[in-house]
Amino acid sequence: MQRWANPTRFLKIAQAVRPWATAATIVCLAVGLVLGLGFSPPDYQQGDTVRIMYVHVPAAWMALFVYTSMAVASAVALIWRHPLADLAAKASAPIGAGFTVIALVTGSLWGQPTWGTWWVWDARLTSVLILLFLYLGYIALWEAIEDPQRAARATAILALVGFVNVPIIKFSVDWWNTLHQPASVLTTRGPTIHGSMLTPLLLMAVGFTLFYIAIVLTRIEREILARRIRALRLLASEEPAKVN
């Protein structure tokens, strides 16, 4: 793990991976949208409204995946003091918040014609809304504490405590009676939707994941460079004092 602790080595890897991730993102999202919007069949009950699924479901998956990544990175930062782990968690938070907003908005657009309402306070929707507040709280806590080390520790604890909400979101449709439909892709019996719908859905999920990788690498790189600039400025301000 310590092999990747060197910021210079990480920057070289990030610069090599990011162009490929960006290109693959464009391909997957383009093909997924064309297949999903133009070639996949309408649902026998929901009609063309079901096409919202190709954005809503991957966004919801990524909202959980990104927060899980933040929790793992926070644990690594607290236990092993990995110098880049807290940066990875910090860089991921705004991206995860964006995915969560997309999931909530598209879910509302999908729910109105399906359920006859824009919002219901059921377990799944409420727990996803709580997830958004966790993201926003994490971001706000980073901004509220000036000392980077104290901020990293406080936000890491928040991310780990908030992770309890992730399994609640995942299993809420199994534990409680909700309007939200149960899982139809990741089930013990395998996917329950037709391949013509499953293929574009998976392509969109891969595209969203690659988009996250490309953006988070860019944000981590920016954080590393920003810390280097702060260190150089601090060194420059201390040198005149030493001379005097």
Which tens digits make up the pLDDT trace of 71-95?
A: 999 999 999 888 799 999 999 999 9
Residue pair 107/120 in contact (Cβ under 8 Å)? The answer is no
Amino acid at position 167, single letter: P
In a domain, 237, yes or no: yes
Note the pLDDT of residue 119.
86
Q: Is the dihedral of CA 133, 134, 140, 141 positive or negative?
A: positive
Q: What is the CATH number of the domain that holds 232?
A: 1.20.120
Read off the pLDDT of each residue in 23-31 and give the average, rounded to a whole number: 98
Note the pLDDT of residue 69.
97
In a domain, 187, yes or no: no
Range of the domain at 82: 21-178+194-243
Read off the pLDDT of each residue in 207-230 and give the average, rounded to a whole number: 92
Note the pLDDT of residue 213.
97
Structurally, how many domains does the chain consist of? 1
Q: Cα separation of 232 and 234, whole Å?
A: 5
Sequence-distant (≥ 6) Cβ neighbours of residue 205 within 8 angstroms: 57, 58, 61, 62
Residue pair 132/93 in contact (Cβ under 8 Å)? The answer is no
Note the pLDDT of residue 189.
65
How many Å is the Cα radius of gyration of the chain?
21
Note the pLDDT of residue 240.
64
Comparing 161 with 244, the larger pLDDT belongs to 161
Note the pLDDT of residue 242.
58
Note the pLDDT of residue 97.
98
Is residue 192 over pLDDT 70?
Answer: no
Comparing 95 with 238, the larger pLDDT belongs to 95
DSSP assignment letter at 165:
H
In a domain, 183, yes or no: no
In a domain, 184, yes or no: no
In a domain, 170, yes or no: yes
Is residue 135 over pLDDT 90?
Answer: yes
In a domain, 10, yes or no: no
In a domain, 161, yes or no: yes
Read off the pLDDT of each residue in 235-243 and give the average, rounded to a whole number: 66
Tell me the percentage of the chain whose pLDDT exceeds 70.
Answer: 90
In a domain, 169, yes or no: yes
Read off the pLDDT of each residue in 39-47 and give the average, rounded to a whole number: 84
Note the pLDDT of residue 35.
95
Note the pLDDT of residue 184.
67
Note the pLDDT of residue 126.
93
Is residue 113 over pLDDT 70?
Answer: yes
Q: Which whole-number Å values give the CA distances from 94 to 49, 158, 193, in the listed order?
A: 29, 15, 32
- Chain mean pLDDT for the chain: 89
The Cβ of residue 102 has, within 10 Å, a number of other Cβ atoms equal to 18
**Residues facing residue 43 across a β-bridge:** 47
Lowest mean pLDDT among 6-20, 175-189, 222-236: 175-189
Read off the pLDDT of each residue in 110-134 and give the average, rounded to a whole number: 90
Comparing 10 with 65, the larger pLDDT belongs to 65
